[in-house]
Homo-oligomer: A and B are copies of this chain.
Amino acid sequence: MIRIYENNLIEFCIKALKQYGVSEKDSRITAEVLAGTDAFGIYSHGTKNLRIYIEKIEAGALDPKAQPEVIKEGPAYAIIDAKDAMGMVASYKGMEKAIDLARKSGIGFVAVKNSCHFGAAGYYANMAAREGMIGIAMSNTDPNMAVPNGKGMTIGNNPLSYAVPAGKNDPVFLDIAMSATAALKINQAKIDKKLIPDTWLIDDEGLPTTDPQYYGNGGALQPMAAHKGYGLSLLVDILCGLLSGGAVTKDIPSWCFVLRAKNRASHAFLAINIGAMQLQEEFKSRMDEYIDYVKASPKAKGKDRIYMPGEIEWERKRKADQEGIMMPDDVVQSLEMVSKRIGLELVWIE
Contacts and interface: CB of A to CB of B under 8 A. Distances in A.
A334 B57 CA distance: 66
Contact of A106 (B109, B154, B174, B228): B109
Contact of A150 (B134, B150, B298): B298
Contacts of A238: 134, 164, 172, 287, 290
A300 B77 contact: no
A231 B176 contact: yes
Interface string A135-158: 000000000001111111011000
Contacts of A154: 293-294, 297-298
Interface string A225-247: 10111111011011100111100
Q: Is the interface of A mostly helix, strand, loop or mixed?
A: mixed
A250 B289 CA distance: 12
A249 B290 contact: yes
A206 B300 contact: yes
A245 B282 CA distance: 9
A274 interface: yes
Contact of A162 (B111, B235, B282): B235
A18 to B, nearest CB: 35
Interface residues of A, number: 77
B109 A297 contact: no
A319 interface: no
Contact of A235 (B104, B174, B239, B274): B174
A170 B224 CA distance: 25
A180 interface: yes
Interface in A45-104: 72, 74-77, 79, 104
Contacts of A148: 306-307
Nearest to A177: B228
A235 B248 CA distance: 26
Contacts of A305: 149
A323 interface: no
A105 interface: yes
8 contacts: A75-B106, A76-B107, A77-B105, A147-B294, A149-B306, A154-B293, A155-B294, A237-B290
Given A77-B273, A150-B300, A249-B293, 20 more contacts: A75-B76, A76-B76, A77-B106, A109-B272, A148-B306, A151-B298, A172-B234, A174-B228, A176-B228, A180-B225, A202-B300, A206-B298, A206-B299, A234-B308, A234-B309, A242-B278, A242-B283, A243-B277, A244-B277, A245-B277
Interface of A: 72, 74-77, 79, 104-109, 111, 134, 146-152, 154-155, 162, 164, 172, 174, 176, 180, 202, 205-207, 224-225, 227-232, 234-235, 237-239, 242-245, 248-250, 272-274, 276-278, 282-283, 286-287, 290, 293-294, 297-301, 303, 305-309
